[in-house]
Amino acid sequence: MSRRASRPLLAAGLAVAGLALLPAAYLVVRATGASREAWELLFRPRTLGLLGSTLGLALAVTVCATVLSLPLAWLTTRTDLPGRRIWTALLCLPLALPTFVSGYVLLAAFGTGGALEEPLARLGLPVPPVYGFPGALLSLTLSTYPYLFLALRAGLLSQDPALLECARSLGLTPVRAFWRVTVPLLRPAFASGALLVGLYVLSDFGAVALVQYDAFSRIIYMQYEGAYDRAYAALLGLALVAVTVVVLVLEARVRGRASYHRSAKGTSRAVAPVRLGRWSVPALALCGAVVALGVGLPVGILVYWAARGVASGEAGVWGPAVNSVLASGLAAVLSVVAALPLAVLGARYPGRLPTLLERSAYVGYALPPIVLALSLVFFGINAAPFLYGTLAMLLLAYLVRFLPQAVGTVRAALLQLSPRLGEAAATLGHAPASVLRRVTAPLMAPGLLAGAALVFLTAMKELPATLLLAPIGFDTLATRVWGATAEGQFAQAAPSALLLMAVSALGVGLLLSQEERARSSQVTG
């Protein structure tokens, strides 16, 4: 195969990268009008200190999410854990809950006057700190660990079993084989998942605002929403873009340039599940504890709110539910399709331009969603007025916002697929499109479905872009929850929040069942 990408592939990559860079272009336009005072404010010690605290939070959340996700991904893919399909679905559900709801749930449960503060005190148990850094760390870890969990799970499903069997035949114990073979081969999955977690923390506003932790994104929101100085806000946004570039460089170093694809023989067999035996109880306890905090606690608090407000007659949630599923489903499909050319360029054609195009997808992900929404408002008014106020504009926002989630998982899956399979199909007369459809895509199915799951779940709870760009009257479950919680009507918000989690659970179950079916077809094919 040629080491140079074809022109259609490069053209597709350029088009997708151009869309992903729209927020950065908007910030540059806005920043050109910044005054000297705005530049001085950017480099004041207070701003640099807030940036440092935000980076510290992002690093801490990434480490905690890794500690949770690696054993959970291994238990649900490589062992005979009882009910592992159900556990997988439950462990993905925290992605369906907006971070501002997750933060409020922690406050309602463990904060001052919280529902669990007095019962824990009577039992002599300590009350978890939920304000400041501890609260932000706990809330964001529980909200973002599924990014790493799904990425590592897809990586484990795609690994060649022959490598692990070879290590065992050379005398390595199961534990040593895991750390010396399995974990190193997960570097692409870990790098992509950790990148998503870190950039998500940089852009989050809801959770850090509720637990009263000063973060960089909070300043940007205050500047934009208060209309104090949008040029200064644009400079802050560009500072986050610079941080994103540094994070991307670090991610590339962690991932390395090694190949992680299967051998030809390994594509038709699955790894024999590890029998947990007496370790089943600790494994179930770990899964149960994570699900209890990430799913059980929010559901319990929401049910409590719903029960208290049952007489309020909250209704009309089915229309927003249909809108949420429609927009999120379309966004998932579009994001995976758009991620393919970038992932192929980054994984199969090493070089400056392909790498630059693939990395550009991540630039807008670290920016607060309000910056993305305002950039598309600016684009729609000045360049594409026929799109403004339509569902297509909302889908474009979802695509730009969540494209990195699809690119990361698709690229990790592609790196574990031997390029010789595509070369063999090409020598048999198949065109590149046919090779992609009949060989590459089926073997990448776990990664494609994992990327679709990430986009679907996070699009379901997207708020700022939906508020600014959705067509008139196009309510979603996230906007319904926000409208009620912003007015303090938590009992009215509870039914929409519960339905949001229920719909997301059905989506996760469907995607995971398709993933298992695709995996079975690989094993038996």
pLDDT tops 80 at residue 16 = yes
The residue-averaged pLDDT of 499-513 equals 72
Percentage of the chain modeled with pLDDT above 70 = 86
| Dist CA 432 CA 12 (whole Å) | 14
Is residue 265 very low, low, confident or very high in pLDDT (cuts 50, 70, 90)? very low
Mean pLDDT of 138-160: 85
Question: Residue 192: pLDDT band by 50, 70, 90 thresholds?
Answer: confident
Identify whether the C-beta of residue 181 lies closer than 8 Å to the C-beta of residue 167. Answer: yes
Region 85-104 average pLDDT: 81
Task: Provide, rounded to the nearest whole percent, the portion of the chain with pLDDT above 90.
Answer: 12
Integer Cα distance of 525 and 520 in angstroms: 8
Q: How confident is the model at residue 256 (pLDDT cuts 50, 70, 90)?
A: low
Given phi > 0 = left and psi -120 to 50 = alpha, else beta, which region is 409? alpha
Q: What is the reported pLDDT for 486?
A: 62
- Of 255-259, 387-391, 411-415, 460-464, give the range with the top mean pLDDT: 387-391
Q: How confident is the model at residue 264 (pLDDT cuts 50, 70, 90)?
A: very low
Is residue 483 over pLDDT 90?
Answer: no
CA–CA separation, 445 and 427 (whole Å): 23
Cα(122)–Cα(195) distance, integer angstroms: 42
pLDDT at 442 over 80: no
Q: How many CA atoms lie within 13 A of 131 on its CB side?
A: 5
- CB burial of residue 287 (10 Å; 0-12, 13-18, 19+): buried
Contact 182, 156 (CB under 8 A): yes
Residue 72 has pLDDT above 90, yes or no: yes
Residue matched to tokens 């959340």 = 61
| Residue-averaged pLDDT of the chain | 79
* Phi, psi (degrees; rounded to nearest 5) at 133: -60, -45
CB 163 within 8 A of CB 155: no
- What is residue 283's predicted lDDT score, i.e. its pLDDT? 92
For residue 511, what pLDDT is reported? 61
Residue 388: per-residue pLDDT: 81
The burial class, CB within 10 Å (0-12 / 13-18 / 19+), for 247 is buried
225 vs 141 pLDDT, higher one: 141
DSSP state of 271: P
Least confident segment among 240-249, 385-394, 514-523? 514-523
Per-residue pLDDT, 286? 93
- Of the two residues 274 and 58, the one the predictor is more confident about is 58
**Distance (Å, rounded) from C-alpha 472 to C-alpha 479?**
13
Tell me the pLDDT band of 267, cut-offs 50, 70 and 90: very low
Instruction: Enter the CATH code of domain 7-262+280-524.
Output: 1.10.3720.10
Predicted local confidence at residue 510, as pLDDT: 62
User: Which phi and psi (to 5°) does residue 281 adopt?
Assistant: -65, -50
Greatest mean pLDDT among 333-337, 412-416, 510-514: 333-337
pLDDT at 268 > cutoff 60 = no
- Highest mean predicted confidence (pLDDT) among 123-127, 289-293, 351-355, 437-441: 289-293
Which of 102, 290, 110 shows the shortest CA–CA distance to 205?
Answer: 102
Question: Is residue 150 within 8 Å of residue 454, measured between CB atoms?
Answer: yes
pLDDT value at 252 more than 80: no
* Cβ–Cβ under 8 Å, residues 364 and 24: yes
Pick from 352, 349, 369, 348: which is nearest to 360 by CA? Answer: 352
Q: What is the pLDDT of residue 259?
A: 52
Quote the tokens at residue 327: 């927009």
Query: Which pLDDT band, with edges at 50, 70 and 90, does 229 fall under?
Result: low
For residues 495-520, average pLDDT: 69
The residue ranges of every structural domain in the chain are 7-262+280-524
447 pLDDT more than 50? yes
Distance of CA 147 to the CA centre of its chain: 5
pTM: 0.74
End-to-end C-alpha distance for the chain, whole angstroms: 25
Q: pLDDT per residue over 59-71, tens digit each?
A: 999 999 999 999 9
Indicate the residue type of 349. Y
Q: Is the dihedral of CA 129, 135, 141, 142 positive or negative?
A: positive
Distance between CA atoms of 91 and 95, rounded to whole angstroms? 9
Average pLDDT on 510-522 reads 57
